[in-house]
Amino acid sequence: MNASIQTKALLWGLAAVGTWTAIKAVLAQKRKIDFRDKTVLITGGSRGLGLELARLLAKEGANLAICSRDPDELDRAEEELTQLGVVVYTEVCDVTNKIQVEHFVENVRQALGPVDVLINNAGTIIVTPYEHATEDDFRYAMDTHFWATFYMTNAVLPHMLARTEQEGKSMPGTSMPGKSMPGRIVNITSIGGKVSVPHLMPYSTSKFAQVGYSAGLRAELQRKGIYVTTVSPGLMRTGSPRNAIFKGQHEKEYAAFKVSDSIPFLTMGSREAAREIIEACRYGEAERVISLPAKIGVALQGLAPNLVAETMAIVNSILPDPGGIGEKRALGKDSETALSESVLTTLTDQAADRNNEVVD
């Protein structure tokens, strides 16, 4: 009897999985979009992952709007992207400033038309033991990851929603998009927004907030035909460690971070990650966790949170103790040592050169 029940349960389970797989495939094709001639806004698009995304979208014929706080970075990125034969609009913008964000989005609308796809990619990393983390560190991370995402999303939403209303009038009885796609929003969060990582408390705290906001937006905007995708990458070789902030024993913190960022199989190339992100947006996916280690980490956090907590405590015991420069800040590029410049970090250095992270 028990065997019969188990067999039936297994069959029902397999049927449910098969049904969901079929439904998912149908929905993916229905929601599929073409990026050609679409206006895509990428925050932090002048370097790192943002620049990789811009390159791939340019090759698909999208018109690009990118922003950064560094005008020289923007100039270099614009020069490269323009050579790919697409229209590129750039503007210096601090995405943590609501007024600047609103002005930027309006200028993009005037130059390229309403934003079809928003990719909230701008980010910052502060590596520090909790003893040296300050309130300003947490506010800075929250401003960059949560509030910047909030400001940018609210700046583009009115025009996306207006297209939804127009579509509803042309297609009575439905609010789903037809040919004129109302909009897509992609929020680049992190595995750090799923699993809190030692010495990254400000970062993880802000990423958890961003994940929650993004998931809620998905639920509330989908009926309007606006698909919000939450992307949670694991470690990526973008070249960003040199521009991250380090505190405490900053040279040791930087060396550990940069070496970890270069380990094959544990980390993913930024170009490969960018391809996955674009595919997730193309098909209107709700969420995509990028890299096998990240997927394992998320699964373990859900299934065995106590095991993950014990593991993170062990990781913390291996990381540098408090001390050094204490609460003072140092950039990665100012924290180089023989270890951080060794063959162990070759992949990260190559990514930094390729992704506009290094000024000649």
Please say whether the beta carbons of 253 and 198 come within 8 A: no
Q: Is the Cβ–Cβ distance between 185 and 228 less than 8 Å?
A: yes
Q: Which two tokens stand for residue 304?
A: 């065995």
Among residues 234, 69, 90, the alpha carbon closest in space to that of 144 is found at 69
Dist. CA 262–CA 251, nearest whole Å: 17
Q: Radius of gyration over alpha carbons of the chain, in Å?
A: 22
Closest CA to 141 of 44, 237, 194, 208: 208
| CA atoms of 78 and 70, how far apart (whole Å) | 12
Q: Residues with Cβ < 8 Å from 237, sequence gap 6 or more?
A: 261, 262, 267, 268, 269, 270, 347, 348, 350, 351
Asked whether 25 and 49 are in contact (CB, 8 A), the reply is no
From the list 89, 140, 151, 203, the catalytic residue is 203
Q: Is 203 a catalytic residue?
A: yes
Strands (E), 130-219: 183-188
Q: Give the tokens for residue 152.
A: 């940018």
Nearest C-alpha neighbor of 202 from the set 133, 298, 294: 133
What is the distance between the terminal CA atoms of the chain, rounded to a whole angstrom? 74
CB–CB of 288/232 below 8 Å?
yes
CA distance 277 to 300: 23
Active site residues: 203
